[in-house]
Structure 1
Amino acid sequence: MTSYTRIRIPAGFWEGLSQLGYNAHNVLRRARLPLAMITESVVTTAQYFAIWQAFSDIIGDTAKGITKLPTVFETAKYPPPVLATYHARDYRDALYRMARYKRLCPPESLRITEEGEKCKIDLDWLYAEQPGPPMLVGITLAFLLELGRRGSGTHLTAELVEFSHGMGDVSALETYFGCHVRTGASCNRLTLHRRDLDHPFVSYNEELLEMLTPVLDQSLDNHQNSRSITEMVMWILKRCLAGGRPDIQTVASELGMSDRTLQRRLTDEGTSYQKLLTKARHEQAREYLTDSSIHIKEVAFLVGYEDQNSFYRAFRIWEGDSPSNWRTEQLGTN
C-alpha cells in the first residue's frame, strides 16, 4: 500500500514564507489548523491543500506567490529527492529524476512527454479527489523551470504554460516564465523547448548521485509496499480528530478509495473503522493529558468530542478513572 496521504512539507517552506513577509501562524490560523503544525514535517493531503490555499488567500495575488516563493528556497535545504535532481547530469536527467522521486513526496504527479521540439510536463494529482489550489499548481510548475535555471546557470524560458484555473496577474507570470501563459485550459502543463533539456548542470555531482540514487530507489520501493491500511487510517485519524469526528468517507477519500473498499481492507486486517477511531482517540487523549498545560476541556476537543461530559464517560471506559485523576497519577509518577 502506497502512503500517498503522507505529505512532506517542503524543506524551508515556513522560512520561505517568512522571507516574503508572511507569518506562519497567520497561515495556519487561516487554514484552521493547529499552530503546532509548524513543527510537523508530514501532514495529510487535505491539510497540505489547506495550507497552500490559506497562503494564497493571505497573499491575495496568486501570481505573486508563484513568481516569488520558488526563488527563495535555499538549495542547501532541499530534501534528498530534490537534491538528487539539482545535482543531475543535465536538465533532462533532473526532470526525469524529479518525476520518479516525486512519488516519495506526493500529492503531485508529473508526466513528461518529449515530442518533436517540445517537452511537455503535465501535472496530475495522486489519490486526491479535488485538484490542488491554483497557488500550489503554479509554484510546482515554476519550480520545475527554476530547477533548470539553477542547475544550468542559464535563464531558461518556457515555450508555453497552461493552467486550468485563473492565476491572478497573467502578465507577471508571463514575465517570469518568459512565454505565453494560458488560463482556463484543460490541463496544468509546462511546455519547454526540448533543446534546453540538453543543458548540462553546473551543479552536477556524480559522486553524490552514486550515493543518493540507490538509497532513494530503495526508499521508493519501501514507500510503495510497506504500510498497512490500519497504519494509514490511524495516522490520518490522529491528525483529523481536533474539533470533530472524521467519518469513514472522509478517511477513505484521503486514501483514494471508496468507503466500502476501506471497510473491506480493514476487515482483511482484522479490525474496523470504529475500533481504530476509538483507539486513535484513546491514544491521543493519553498523550495530551501528560501535558499539564493543556486543559481537560481542550483535550476533549482535540480528540473529537463536542462536550467534556462525553469525553469523561469515554475515558472512564478506557482507563477506569477520570481524566483528571489519571493525569494526576501519571504526572505524580514522572
Structure 2
Amino acid sequence: MVGLGSVSVPVVKQYLRYVETLDIDVPALLLGSNISAATLTQENERISGEQLQAFLASLIIATDDLLFGLKSGAFVEPGSYSVLGYITMTCATLEQALERIQPYEKLVGDMGVTSINYQPQRLAINWHCAYTFEDVREQMVDNVFASWLAYARWLSGQDLGPLEVHLQRAEPTLELRQHYQQVFNCPVLFSQPSNSLILPREYLNIPLRQPDHSLLQTLELHAAGQVSALGDAHSFSIQVKDIIRILLAKGITRKDMVAGQLNMSERTLQRKLQQEQTSYQKLLDEARLLLAQQYLTDTLLPVDDIAMQLGFSETRSFFRSFKGWTGQTPSVYRECAENRVHRN
C-alpha cells in the first residue's frame, strides 16, 4: 500500500475497547471511516492507514477529550501488537523484547517508526508517528506510550516507570499536564526534539514472566515471513538477517533454508542482497557475533559448545573469527563481561 500504509485490526480494536465504555455511536464512527464491522472480526486482516486516521479524527470530535489517547492506552492486550505481542511475551528479559520491536513493528502497522538510543545510564525509546493530522498524531503518541508502559508492567509483573517522558507538542494547560504526570508518574517535558520515553538502563535486565525460547524461535520465523509478505518497509537485508539469527539459534546456517523462508531461490536471495551492497556471509557473521556475545555474557556454555552451536566446523575457526570481529578471544571477552557485572 502507499500513503499511510496499513494497520492491523488489533490496533483498531484496542481503541474500540475504550470507546465502548463511552456513550458513543460506534457503528456510525466506523461507517464514517469506511471501516467494515466484518473486517474487525478477522484478527489477521488490515485496514488502510487513511481509514485509521479518519477513525481517530472522528473519535477526537466524538469524545471531545484531549486525553483519550492516554486513556485508551490502558486497554492494551498482548494481541494488540499482533504477532509482535506474542513474541515479546516469550522473551526472557525486557532487553530481548525491545530488540524485537524494530524488526516486527510493521506487523502492528505502518503508523510510525521506533528507534532506541542507548546511553551509559539510561536509554531513550523514540517513536516517530507517520500520520499527517496533527491532532491525530498527538493522540497516537499518547496511546503508544501509555500502551507500552502498561504492557511492560504486565510483562514484567513490576510497577515500572520512565525517568522522563519527552513530547514534541506545545505545553498544554496545567490540568492536562497533571494528568500526564499521573499516568507516567515522572516529569513530562513538552516542546522536545522527539517523542521519547527515557528509561533507566538497568531495566534491560528485568526478567519477564513467561519466557519460552523454543516458542520465541517459532514465532519469529512466522513473523519474519509475514514482514516479507507485507513489502519492503524494512530493507531486504534486515529481513534476511532476522531469519539468519532465528535459524542460527537452532544451529542452522544453511542459505537454502533462509531462502526458503522467503519463498525464493538462493540465487535470488544473493542477487537481492548484492543490490543492497551486502552478502549472505556478511549477515551470517553479524548474526554469529551477536549470538556469540550473548552466549559468552549470559550463559556458562563452554566455548567449544558455542562454536558448534554457531555452525563452526572447529573451535579454532570460531576463535579466529571472534578475535577478528572484536579484537578479543572468546575467553577474554567472557572474562571482561564478568568483571563488568561484578563492578556494577
For Structure 1 versus Structure 2, the TM-score category normalised by the shorter chain is 0.5 to 0.7
Aligned to 1:8: 8
The 3 A distance-change label for structure 1 pair 118 and 83 is same
Aligned to 1:24: 26
Aligned counterparts of 1:195 and 1:161: Cα–Cα separation in 2? 17
The one-letter amino acid paired with 1:55 is L
CA-CA distance at 1:146 after TM superposition: 1.9
1:183-233 deviation line (CA, Å, top 9, x unaligned): 22222111111111211101222232122011111222232359xxxxxxx
The answer to whether 1:83 aligns with 2:86 is yes
Aligned to 2:126: 122
Contact 2:30/2:36 (CA < 8 Å) preserved in 1? no
The 3 A distance-change label for structure 1 pair 163 and 53 is farther
Give the unaligned 5+ runs of structure 1: 227-334
CA-CA distance at 1:34 after TM superposition: 3.1
The one-letter amino acid paired with 2:34 is P
The 3 A distance-change label for structure 1 pair 87 and 43 is same
Q: Pick from 205, 208, 213: which aligns with 2:212?
A: 205
Aligned counterparts of 2:15 and 2:127: Cα–Cα separation in 1? 24
Aligned to 2:142: 138
Contact 1:14/1:24 (CA < 8 Å) preserved in 2? no
Contact 1:86/1:147 (CA < 8 Å) preserved in 2? no
The 3 A distance-change label for structure 1 pair 84 and 174 is same
Aligned counterparts of 1:151 and 1:23: Cα–Cα separation in 2? 33
The one-letter amino acid paired with 1:157 is G
The one-letter amino acid paired with 1:148 is A
Contact 1:86/1:203 (CA < 8 Å) preserved in 2? yes
The answer to whether 1:52 aligns with 2:64 is no
The one-letter amino acid paired with 2:89 is Y
The one-letter amino acid paired with 1:47 is Q
Q: Pick from 101, 105, 112: which aligns with 1:98?
A: 101
The one-letter amino acid paired with 2:110 is P
CA-CA distance at 1:46 after TM superposition: 2.1
The one-letter amino acid paired with 1:20 is T
Q: Pick from 109, 113, 122: which aligns with 1:109?
A: 113
Aligned to 2:227: 220
- Partner secondary structure for residue 10 of structure 1: helix
Aligned counterparts of 2:69 and 2:232: Cα–Cα separation in 1? 34
Aligned to 1:193: 200
CA-CA distance at 1:158 after TM superposition: 0.6
Aligned counterparts of 1:56 and 1:192: Cα–Cα separation in 2? 30
Give the stretch that moved more between structures: 97-106 or 36-45. 36-45
CA-CA distance at 1:60 after TM superposition: 2.5
Give the superposed CA RMSD: 2.8
CA-CA distance at 1:130 after TM superposition: 5.6
Aligned to 1:253: none
Give the stretch that moved more between structures: 174-183 or 65-74. 65-74
The 3 A distance-change label for structure 1 pair 210 and 141 is same
- Partner secondary structure for residue 100 of structure 2: helix
Contact 1:159/1:192 (CA < 8 Å) preserved in 2? yes
TM-score where L is the length of structure 1? 0.59
The answer to whether 1:69 aligns with 2:72 is yes
TM-score where L is the length of structure 2? 0.57
Give the stretch that moved more between structures: 210-219 or 161-170. 161-170
Contact 2:29/2:55 (CA < 8 Å) preserved in 1? yes
How high is the sequence identity, in percent, across the aligned residues? 17
The one-letter amino acid paired with 2:36 is A
Equivalent residues, number: 222
The one-letter amino acid paired with 1:91 is L
Contact 1:162/1:181 (CA < 8 Å) preserved in 2? yes
- Partner secondary structure for residue 112 of structure 1: strand
